[in-house]
Amino acid sequence: MSDSPQPYRVLARKYRPRSFSELIGQDAMVQTLGNAIRRGRLAHAFLMTGVRGVGKTSTARLIAKALNCVGPDGQGGPTIDPCGICEPCRAIAEGRHIDVVEMDAASHTGVDDVREIIEAVRYAAVSARYKIYIIDEVHMLSKNAFNALLKTLEEPPAHVKFLFATTEVNKVPVTVLSRCQRFDLRRIPADLLATHFAHVVEAESVAAEPDALALIAQAAEGSARDGLSILDQAIAHAEMGEGAPLVTAAQVREMLGLSDRGAVRRLLALLLEGETTTLLSAVRDLYALGIEPLALMRGLMELVHAVTLLKAGRDIASPGQSAEEREALADWAAQLGFAPLHRLWQLLLKGHDEVASAVLPIESCEMALLRVMHAATMPDPGEIARMLREGGPAAGAAAAAPSGGAPASSAPAGRLPGSFADLIEAMWQRGKGQLAQELHDCVGLVRYAPPQLDYRPTPQLPSDFSARLLPALRELTGVAWQVAQADGPAEPTLLEQEQRRAADARARILETPVVKAAMAAFPDAELDDKLERWSAEA
């Protein structure tokens, strides 16, 4: 009669580290522990903290093995490289050692559970060098339970070691933290995870494309356990090849929902183009396919964030990006300025929060996106206030947009902008973001009398600015302009004016009696940027 097959063990359990050499991404902690063991400077309590799946509980078990290993000959002492052969090592690995007690604080939160530990620590270990208590998710203990543990934790018997693990170290009382040697386990880098997953699929006799493993490592967000769970799912999802499953990048993208990114990109394009009817139809189509409104808002926010980082000069290439996505992000980064991108982000963030708490999520999503469409390219409140004060001919046009689509340009072709600020706003709205940004940040106005523009450049202004500006002005207004550098007195750049207004607003706030009193009472307090912006706009 044949033996029954062994039950399947998920990869996250099967490939738990059995030694410190298999613990990936935590080299600093391993070195510290190794030095402490070799020098006989062992703390009586250790606290491991970090996000899920980085190896907190596994590290605690490895420390228990390291402290109680006796070696193959039974004569060894504590070591950073436990043999895994002796009885204590095997018993601890199998979870049956009588002197290594594991407790889940999530289900043993009360003071009575801690009292049992306090009573038991008085007795010597039965068969091991140290009696070890591993308490997982220790932050779940009640306040009374922590208080009952304090004295024993500070002065435990020499034969007792405490090993704590938690994902929320901020919930652990400072009185407990001060009695422990703390190790912050870091998120595991994606390249290390991908290498680890390559070893796993090889051991499992599975074929996988490198890009597929890179996608899984990226989706794991630094957690080995999460990554192994995703890999387990990908192997089950993979089609059988000739003898072995093949995990492909295309299958992983589909499994993780990355294939929907193309639809979200098209949605952002419609949003920026002001295609109201098409936008609403696309939102409903995606909703019908099962994409939640909140996920839709989050996807748009991720795209805007990626465009902003790319514009700031950061390399955001990743295995999860298709060539089409990289091209689209590069185009948006070239066309959009920082100011519209920041407004887009703020509007999407507000919409995301509204959708998250809405009674009618899809309706709230549509309303939020319509608000984004009609407000993202509008001037900020400070600029509107300035235009209203000056009473410029384009002030009303810049602050209003037709109800059926994208905001109207404050200076359509054939109409000359009434002020320098109107000219910059018209540049933004006609997709000439780079020129608009340069006019805003790097040009001190000497004379503005359309179609005449005299300016004084800052050192940061590109040398080809004038050559690029002239055809853009002709296209924008339908009129040939005269643009020249001048050496006469010039106004500060608009960026410098904004910074000066912000500094003046800050100074006014700091001089108010209420703020003075608050600063005197709280010397380390800082003025909130939101309050400064509000004051400047007011």
> Within its chain, how far is the Cα of 87 from the centroid?
44
* 3-state secondary structure (DSSP) of residue 239: strand
pLDDT the model gives residue 237: 81
Domain with CATH 3.40.50.300 in the chain: 11-184
Q: Is 521 exposed, middle or buried (0-12, 13-18, 19+ CB in 10 A)?
A: exposed
Assign 388 a pLDDT band (cuts: 50, 70, 90): low
Mean of the pLDDT values across residues 469-476? Answer: 85
Q: Looking at domain 260-375, does it have CATH number 1.10.443.10?
A: no
Q: Where in the chain is the domain with CATH 1.10.8.60?
A: 190-256
pLDDT single digits (tens) 432-466: 888 888 898 998 888 888 888 888 888 888 888 88
Quickly state the pLDDT bin for 265 (edges 50, 70, 90): confident
Q: Which pLDDT does position 386 carry in this prediction?
A: 60
CA distance 321 to 124: 58
pLDDT at 405 over 60: no
- CATH number for the 11-184 domain, one of 3.40.50.300, 3.40.50.12660, 3.40.47.10, 3.30.1280.10? 3.40.50.300
Look at residue 292 in the predicted model and tell me its pLDDT: 86
Residue 309 pLDDT greater than 50, yes or no = yes
> pLDDT-derived band of residue 410, with 50, 70 and 90 as boundaries?
very low
Give the mean pLDDT of 363-371. Answer: 92
First to last CA, the chain: 87
pLDDT band at 363 (very low <50, low <70, confident <90, very high): very high
pLDDT number for residue 434: 87
pLDDT value, residue 400: 40
Per-residue pLDDT band for 174 (boundaries 50, 70, 90) equals very high
Tokens 């990908």 locate to 234
Fold classification of 190-256 is Helicase, Ruva Protein; domain 3 (1.10.8)
The whole-chain average pLDDT of the chain stands at 82
Cβ neighbours for 2, distance < 8 A, ≥ 6 positions apart: none
Highest-confidence segment of 8-12, 229-233, 518-522: 229-233
The predicted pLDDT at position 300 comes to 92
Q: What's the pLDDT tens digit per position in 324-360?
A: 778 888 888 888 888 888 888 999 999 999 999 989 9
Which residues in 348-362 are b (16+ Cβ under 10 Å) and which e?
beebbebbeebeebb
Task: For the chain, give every residue range classified as CATH 1.20.272.10.
Answer: 260-375
Is the pLDDT confidence value at 521 over 80? no
Percent of the chain clearing pLDDT 90 (strictly above): 14
Residue 298: HSE in the Cβ half-sphere, 13 Å Cα cutoff = 7
Beta-carbon contacts of residue 205 (< 8 Å; ≥ 6 apart)? 244
Q: Which of 158, 161, 184, 188 is nearest to 172 (CA)?
A: 184
Distance CA 320, CA 264 (A): 14
